[in-house]
């Protein structure tokens, strides 16, 4: 049996800044159920939701082995548009038939835009 990835949890002390970042730059909609301390970011199209969970005192921001990768057909164009909107990505990297670039969210987590999903197989 297979199950699609439905949610990714990000622990943060900057819930509102994180919500604004992912909604503004990656097209999510923020949804919070009354009384729930988790803020859910729902994709406007297909894909997994991001759950913003309050970090505990022992968790350090940006220390994670997880990177969120967003599929973008034209990475250079996306990065240019993002820069005009306040999000700066690093160098464009050429890989095996695709391009990618990295940035950080307000909590220091690594995010990437990549055209790998559109590369010829």
Question: pLDDT, tens digit, for every residue of 2-27?
Answer: 657 788 989 889 999 999 999 999 99
Q: Which two tokens stand for residue 72?
A: 């973008």
pLDDT of residue 94: 93
Q: How many helices (H) and strands (E) does the chain have?
A: 2, 8
Superfamily of domain 1-55: 2,3-Dihydroxybiphenyl 1,2-Dioxygenase, domain 1 (3.10.180.10)
> Averaged over 105-113, what is the pLDDT?
90
Task: Count CB-CB contacts under 10 A for residue 18.
Answer: 21
> Averaged over 71-94, what is the pLDDT?
95
> Averaged over 79-102, what is the pLDDT?
94
Instruction: For residue 105, name the pLDDT band (cuts at 50, 70, 90).
Output: very high
CATH fold for the domain made of 65-121? 2,3-Dihydroxybiphenyl 1,2-Dioxygenase; domain 1 (3.10.180)
Q: Which helix (H) or strand (E) holds 76?
A: helix 75-84
User: Average pLDDT, whole number, for the chain?
Assistant: 89
């Amino acid at each position: 049996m297979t199950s699609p990835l439905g949610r990714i949890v990000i622990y943060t002390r900057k819930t509102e800044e994180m919500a604004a970042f992912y909604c503004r730059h990656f097209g999510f909609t923020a949804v919070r159920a009354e009384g729930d301390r988790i803020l859910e970011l729902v994709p406007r199209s297909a894909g997994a939701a991001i759950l913003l969970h309050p970090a505990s005192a022992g968790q350090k921001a940006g220390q994670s082995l997880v990177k969120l990768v967003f599929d973008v057909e034209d990475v250079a164009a996306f990065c240019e548009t993002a820069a005009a909107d306040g999000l700066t990505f690093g160098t464009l990297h050429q890989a095996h038939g695709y391009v990618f670039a990295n940035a950080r969210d307000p909590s220091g987590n690594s995010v990437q835009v990549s055209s790998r999903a559109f590369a010829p197989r």
